[in-house]
């Protein structure tokens, strides 16, 4: 055992003495926050290899993600955009599993080679994406110097005059050096046949100019069907579907007023216990029954009813047929039963029943409910 003083000296020597080579191997690698500090000499000579799944971001990738969507082609051709540097450019577009935000809509890629399929978007976002691209119009970089591609012994390239011929739908992808169809991208159905070359990977055969007219095709081609869908989408107020499905406020108000007249007539006849229908309800009949006669009386004394009932109503929506009368009677019976039960509550009541047979020996029963309401009055 040594003295306390000798132990203290030994501990001071351990603090001053440098670590051995064996201890250097067990030291943790420098953190990312210490990148500005000088690393050990050994780490400079033998840098640690990157992990298997590690991806090192490049500076130009970060700048491309933040670039404006209005650029139709990159400024620097050395970046490899025009020569197919990416094997699948569609995957470069921002992909989100949920709904698109305002930032995502603004930064939708304009280049057709970078766009996602319309079916990949959320169903509630597809119309917004279509509307955004329609406002931007097709991607047609007319000032771009189109590269030449060998087709046999000759060199050919995309001709910008084709934009004037097919102005409404022809697009050009700088990265793929291919032509795309703007309308088919937005409105062509996935299960429809034809025109896939101008939608999926683009059309690159610049020597086959007749393919553009073939893509448009006949009246019922996939392209022309997409054109009709686009016109209906842009002019929704003028489309036939909207005209048939949209009901004006005036028509709804007239229907409510017509139904109100039928309900008021039914309530009065039920209160008096009168029959509804007559033997002859034609317009030439002198007695059309109590229901039609009372409606005629309402139309004569109330101008609001006279504008929407009987002769002034549609022939298929007069609300005077026997099935309509029975439906209104059943609704009144349910409301009456509900009101009686609420007024009766837990009080006492009595039921009076009487039965008799008519001329055809058909038995009919009359049921009367007698009770005292909350006001102390006898009700039947």
Q: How many CB atoms lie within 10 A of CB 255?
A: 16
**What local confidence, expressed as pLDDT, does residue 87 receive?**
42
**What local confidence, expressed as pLDDT, does residue 218 receive?**
84
CA distance 306 to 49: 91
Is 362 part of a structural domain of the chain?
A: no
**What local confidence, expressed as pLDDT, does residue 246 receive?**
62
Which one of 192, 211, 242 terminates a domain?
Answer: 242
The answer to whether 223 and 203 are in contact (CB under 8 A) is: no
In this structure, are 100 and 187 located in the same domain?
Answer: yes
In this structure, are 185 and 303 located in the same domain?
Answer: no
Give 27-51 pLDDT, tens digit per residue.
Answer: 444 444 444 444 444 444 444 554 5
Is 261 part of a structural domain of the chain?
A: yes
Q: Which of 235, 224, 233 is nearest to 126 (CA)?
A: 233
Q: Would you say residue 332 has pLDDT above 80?
A: yes
* Residue 349 tokens, joined: 């009541």
Give 174-224 pLDDT, tens digit per residue.
Answer: 888 889 999 998 988 877 766 677 888 888 887 788 888 888 888 888 888
Q: Which of 194, 165, 167 is nearest to 182 (CA)?
A: 167
**What local confidence, expressed as pLDDT, does residue 220 receive?**
85
In this structure, are 192 and 281 located in the same domain?
Answer: no
Q: Would you say residue 89 has pLDDT above 50?
A: no
Q: 142 pLDDT band (50/70/90 cuts)?
A: confident
Is 288 part of a structural domain of the chain?
A: yes
Q: Would you say residue 70 has pLDDT above 50?
A: no
In this structure, are 235 and 256 located in the same domain?
Answer: no
Residue range of the domain that includes 189: 77-242
In this structure, are 204 and 288 located in the same domain?
Answer: no
Give whole-number Cα distances, 51 to 10, 48, 54, 56, 252, in Å.
42, 9, 5, 10, 69
3-state secondary structure of 284: coil
In this structure, are 100 and 159 located in the same domain?
Answer: yes
Is 360 part of a structural domain of the chain?
A: no
In this structure, are 263 and 117 located in the same domain?
Answer: no
In this structure, are 228 and 282 located in the same domain?
Answer: no
SS3 of 61-100: the string is HHHHHCCCCCCCCCCCHHHCCCCCCCCCHHHHCCCCCCCC
pTM of this prediction exceeds 0.75 = no
In this structure, are 273 and 309 located in the same domain?
Answer: yes
Query: Structurally, how many domains does the chain consist of?
Result: 2
In this structure, are 162 and 210 located in the same domain?
Answer: yes
């Amino acid at each position: 055992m040594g003295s306390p003083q000798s132990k203290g000296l030994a501990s001071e020597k351990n603090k001053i003495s440098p670590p051995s080579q064996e201890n250097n191997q067990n030291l943790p690698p420098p953190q990312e926050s210490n990148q500005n500090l000088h690393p050990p000499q050994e780490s400079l000579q033998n840098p640690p290899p990157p992990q298997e799944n590690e991806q090192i971001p490049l500076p130009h990738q970060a700048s491309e993600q933040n670039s404006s969507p209005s650029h139709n082609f990159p400024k620097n051709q050395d970046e490899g955009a025009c020569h197919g540097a990416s094997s699948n450019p569609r995957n470069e577009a921002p992909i989100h599993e949920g709904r698109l935000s305002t930032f995502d809509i603004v930064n939708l890629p304009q280049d057709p080679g970078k766009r996602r399929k319309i079916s990949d978007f959320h169903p509630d976002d597809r119309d917004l994406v279509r509307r955004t691209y329609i406002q931007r119009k097709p991607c047609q970089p007319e000032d771009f110097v189109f590269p030449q591609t060998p087709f046999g012994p000759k060199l050919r390239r995309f001709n910008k005059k084709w934009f004037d011929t097919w102005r409404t739908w022809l697009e050009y992808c700088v990265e793929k050096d291919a032509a795309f169809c703007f309308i088919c991208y937005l409105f062509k159905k996935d299960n429809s046949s034809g025109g896939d070359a101008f939608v999926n990977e683009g059309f690159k055969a610049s020597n086959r100019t007749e393919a553009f007219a073939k893509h448009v095709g006949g009246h019922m081609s996939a392209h022309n069907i997409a054109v009709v869908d686009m016109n209906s989408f842009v002019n929704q107020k003028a489309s036939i579907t909207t005209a048939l499905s949209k009901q004006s406020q005036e028509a709804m108000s007239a229907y409510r007023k017509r139904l109100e007249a039928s309900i008021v007539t039914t309530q009065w006849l039920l209160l008096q216990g009168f029959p509804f229908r007559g033997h002859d309800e034609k317009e030439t009949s002198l007695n059309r029954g109590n229901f039609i006669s009372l409606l005629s009386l309402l139309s004569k004394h109330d101008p609001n009813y006279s504008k929407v009932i009987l002769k002034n109503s549609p022939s298929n929506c007069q609300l005077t047929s026997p099935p309509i009368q029975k439906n209104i009677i059943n609704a009144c019976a349910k409301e009456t039963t509900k009101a009686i039960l609420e007024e009766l509550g837990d009080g006492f009541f009595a039921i009076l029943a009487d039965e008799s047979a008519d001329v055809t020996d058909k038995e009919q029963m009359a049921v009367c409910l007698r009770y005292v309401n909350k006001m102390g009055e006898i009700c039947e």
